[in-house]
Amino acid sequence: MEYIPILVLIISFVGLLSIGTPVAWSIAISSLLTMLVSIPALPAFTTISQRMATGLDSFALLAIPFFILSGELMNNGGIAHRLIAFAKTLVGALPGGLALINVISAMLMGAIAGSAMASASAMGSILGPEMEKEGYDKEFGAAVNITSATTGLVIPPSNILIVYSLASGGASIAALFLAGYIPGILTGLFLMVVASFWAKKKGYNVGKRSSFKEVFRTFVDAVPALFLLVLVIGGIVAGIFTATEASAIAVLYSLILGFIYKEITLEKLPKIFLDSSATTAIVMLLIGASMSMSWVLSYEHIPQEISTGLLGISDNKIMILLIINLILLLVGIFMDITPAVLIFTPIFLPVVTKLGIDPVHFGVIMILNLCIGLCTPPVGSVLFVGVGIAKTSIEKVVRPLLPLFVAMIAALFLITYIPQLTLWLPGLFDL
């Protein structure tokens, strides 16, 4: 009998997904069906709806709609063009220069906008045609754009780091933000190395070396956008404001910057607000549904059983982290990053904390791992955006994607087994 709830949960969730039910509704309905196994219908319906509502009752979650809005403002405010121009002067003369520009620009854009989708859309639409013009394969350009866009989910400010903080029961957002820098940059560097080797092998064109004057000019042009990182992260780390307050400041700064650059007008604002509202609604529905499933898992004592099972296999930290990474890589293929973080954090966090692993370190491992899933079918949202922007197909992009996947997995395992890469910066600021 004790295995019936988990079987109902898994079978109903997979079944709903397989017939095309949206992820949020699949999560909520499968959670409800699982509760119906244990309690009568009225309390089950009441409990699920109540848990969806109370799951969103968090001050920290206010930061998400603000960061989404600031990302939309940045995406429409001419930021991408300036970041690309700056990146071009830095690495344009290296083998695969345009691919390297894509990676650096995506890291900067992702860090500023906090959205992999926004980064993939902006970089793909601007750099994609330019790469084709210079003789790069369309599929290679799309593969680089897709994988590099996910680095912005690790480099702060990042909405998914805030979601993990909520799911973990209070891991410091400031510590998570600082912890994401080195892993995000390291992943970007690994992608750049692979992209450079691939470009050299294919014999793609190499750009001209930029003068110091050009580097300085493009840097000065990009400084107002880059200052947002200093403003937001510096303010949080210094204790001047919370992550939620920082997100509101980011919106105000992005709006002012868009008007200064003359890329945002009063006529454009309604569409920007509407787009950010639609994205926020999707994210919040996913969070509410996922919180209800997390509660159902806890009610049925599933995390404790999984914890006991994993520790029964081995109490070796290296082996347990390997197993969890493999499970998360599989989960990322079939589930979007937000529900995956909310559902699996309560399951795996008790296991790793028993082994003495820092929750901040584990949070970065989990998010970096699930970022790989965003680039894989059948639910890889960034994959579909990147392929759509490039006007190609998933089948054609797979081949150049594979070595970039290897680069991301190599970075993941380095971050997993060298915790200092994640914890050094938070430790520096006593967070």
* pLDDT tens digits along 176-209: 989 999 999 999 999 999 988 888 887 776 667 7
Least reliable range by pLDDT among 89-93, 211-215, 349-353: 89-93
pLDDT at 407: 94
Least reliable range by pLDDT among 258-267, 399-408, 412-421: 258-267
pLDDT, tens digit (0-9, with 9 covering 90-100), for 108-135: 776 666 667 777 777 777 778 878 877 8
Task: Give domain status of residue 158, yes or no.
Answer: yes
Indicate whether 175 and 268 sit together in one domain. yes
Task: Give domain status of residue 293, yes or no.
Answer: no
Task: Give domain status of residue 253, yes or no.
Answer: yes
Q: Which pair of structure tokens corresponds to residue 49? A: 């709806």
Least reliable range by pLDDT among 82-86, 172-176, 372-376: 82-86
Indicate whether 44 and 83 sit together in one domain. no
Count the domains in the chain: 2
Question: Of the candidates 32, 55, 78, which is a domain's last residue?
Answer: 55
Task: Give domain status of residue 290, yes or no.
Answer: no
pLDDT, tens digit (0-9, with 9 covering 90-100), for 274-309: 988 887 888 888 888 888 888 888 787 777 777 777
Task: Give domain status of residue 292, yes or no.
Answer: no
- Name the residue with higher pLDDT: 381 or 417: 417
Indicate whether 178 and 50 sit together in one domain. no
Q: Burial of 238 by CB count in 10 Å (0-12 exposed, 13-18 middle, 19+ buried)?
A: exposed
Indicate whether 123 and 87 sit together in one domain. yes
Task: Give domain status of residue 101, yes or no.
Answer: yes
Alpha-carbon dihedral sign for residues 340, 345, 347, 352: positive
Q: Determine the Cα–Cα distance for residues 335 and 380; give it in Å rounded to an integer.
A: 8
pLDDT at 367: 94
End-to-end CA distance of the chain: give it in Å, rounded: 45
Least reliable range by pLDDT among 3-7, 187-191, 393-397: 3-7
Indicate whether 38 and 72 sit together in one domain. no
pLDDT, tens digit (0-9, with 9 covering 90-100), for 7-65: 888 888 888 888 888 878 888 898 899 888 888 888 889 988 888 888 787 777 788 88
Task: Identify the domain containing residue 111 by its residue range.
Answer: 59-285+301-428
> Which letter, b or e, does each residue of 283-315 get, where b requires 16 or more Cβ atoms within 10 Å of its Cβ?
bbbbbbbbbbbbbbbebbebbeebbeebeeeee
Indicate whether 49 and 179 sit together in one domain. no
Contact between 62 and 287 under an 8 Å Cβ cutoff? The reply is no
> Rounded mean pLDDT of 346-358?
89
State yes or no: pLDDT of 399 exceeds 60.
yes
SS (H, E, C) 204-270: CCCCCCCCHHHHHHHHHHHHHHHHHHHHHHHHHHCCCCCHHHHHHHHHHHHHHHHHHCCCCCCCCHH
pLDDT at 122: 72
Indicate whether 338 and 359 sit together in one domain. yes
Q: Determine the Cα–Cα distance for residues 361 and 203; give it in Å rounded to an integer.
A: 40
Q: What is the average pLDDT value for the chain, to the nearest integer? A: 84
pLDDT at 205: 67
Task: Give domain status of residue 263, yes or no.
Answer: yes
Q: How confident is the model at residue 1 (pLDDT cuts 50, 70, 90)?
A: very low
Indicate whether 5 and 94 sit together in one domain. no
Indicate whether 114 and 9 sit together in one domain. no
